[in-house]
Amino acid sequence: MATTFRSSDRTSPWRHVDMALVGSTFLVSVFGLVMVFGASRRYESGASYVVKQSAFMIIGWALMAGLSLIDYRRILDWWQVIYGASLILLGGVLTPLGSLGDYGTKGWYALGPVTFQPVEIAKLATIIAVAAYLGAADRVDLRRLVVALVMFGAPMGLTLMQPDLGSSLVFIVVGVGMLVVGGVDLRYLVALALVGVIGVVGILQSDALDQYQRDRLTAFANPDGVSARARYNVEQAQTAISSGGLTGYGFGRGPSTRLGYVPAQRTDFIFTVAGEEFGFLGAGTLLGLFGVIIWRIWRVAQLARENAGRLLCVGVMSMLLFHIFENVGMNLGIMPITGIPLPLVSQGGSAVVAACVAIGLVQSVHMHRYA
């Protein structure tokens, strides 16, 4: 008798693989490798960037596949260990063990030629922890709200000490998304929003950030009020994207990409490769694939049989959505430059692996909802 991929048992995880989520994630990953290659081919060692990114992508996909087969509730049971370990790693970069990165941010561990950014793991660990904690109760009362805020605040505070305002904003956005779905009273949400706005403004006005860091964050809103250095990245990114037109110059033919006019093009400004070399159609296709990923995660959240799984999906969706909106927005000059990577696309092993793990957890919620 011929065998089939799907089991006849309705409770079998194999019957509930979300192929649309798998397919769109794979296509975005391939698109990302092509763009990393396009942004690095002008270097003699350009091939090494692609090889390294491919290796991290393979690791990420292996973890995504493995985690999807594990019941997510077993992972949530270990939330205290996962969350605690992430805080230790996040605090460790502030010690002599940490490595200083670009723009004066101390947020990496250097392990030979490989660097590791623990904040990417901390984002996901916090989502897991809060989903497990809030999902254990029928409603979010004031006590649970306070505890959840502390759980978001601890990694956010350690991230601000690096200082990395961009990643700190991710914790805020994820927190708002999870608390709204968790059923927090509207008056508490309004109060938290006001506190968040005041906090961001206060940080920008304080000495926590150097002047050039403040300029990079505010250049989109007041381009004439900052230095030419702070405007340069955005101006070059806008030029590259707008010059691509409808169909782009073609792979490897974009002048700004070939000549290296756009800084940090493999990481923060990798979207410019899509806009310049593949044009509006190519960049739009990439955004469309991201849209499919977000839509499928939201659908999994709706189908989740329990609150913890729903919160886990919403946390992942909020994280990825903010990353996409912020990264593309700063390339277009409508959002501040924060150094947030484009998920599955920007070069960077920590971010790629974390995004794959996050999608693997969402897939687990979908596959094990009848278990």
pLDDT digits (tens, 9 = 90+) for 219-268: 555 565 555 566 788 888 899 999 999 999 998 888 988 888 888 888 88
CA distance 119 to 351: 9
Residue 313 CA neighbour count, 13 Å, CB half: 28
Query: Is the pLDDT higher at 230 or at 86?
Result: 86
The DSSP 8-state label assigned to residue 270 in this structure reads: T
How much is the average pLDDT of 208-216? 60
| Cα distance from N-terminal residue to C-terminal residue, the chain | 27
The span from the CA of 156 to the CA of 61, in Å, is 27
The CB density around residue 205, as the number of other CB atoms within 10 Å, is 10
Assess if residue 307 is contained within a domain: yes
pLDDT digits over 41-74, tens only?
777 666 788 889 999 999 999 999 999 999 999 9
Rounded CA separation 153/267 (Å): 27
Residue 130 pLDDT > 60: yes
Structural domains counted in the chain? 1
Say how far apart CA 148 and CA 175 lie, in whole Å: 8
In a domain, 337, yes or no: yes
Look up the domain containing 281 and give its range: 16-367
Min mean pLDDT across 115-124, 196-205, 234-243, 259-268 is at 196-205
116 forms beta bridges with 109
Which tops the pLDDT comparison, 198 or 239?
239
- The pLDDT tens digits of the residues spanning 268-323 come to 899 999 999 999 999 999 999 999 999 999 999 999 989 999 999 999 999 999 99
Q: What is the DSSP letter of 100?
A: E
Q: Examine residue 219 and state whether it is found in any structural domain, yes or no.
A: yes
Residue 85 lies in a domain: yes
Beta strand extents in 18-84 (DSSP E only):
none
Structural domain contains residue 3: no
Q: Is residue 290 part of a domain?
A: yes
Asked if pLDDT for residue 197 goes beyond 90, the answer is no
**Rounded distance between C-alpha atoms, residue 351 and residue 125, angstroms:** 13
Whole-number percent of the chain with pLDDT over 90: 51
Q: Is residue 141 part of a domain?
A: yes
The token pair at 85 is 């370990």
Q: Is the pLDDT reported for residue 213 higher than 80?
A: no
> Is there a domain that residue 26 lies in?
yes
Alpha-carbon distance 57 to 26, whole Å?
10
Q: What is the pTM of this model?
A: 0.89
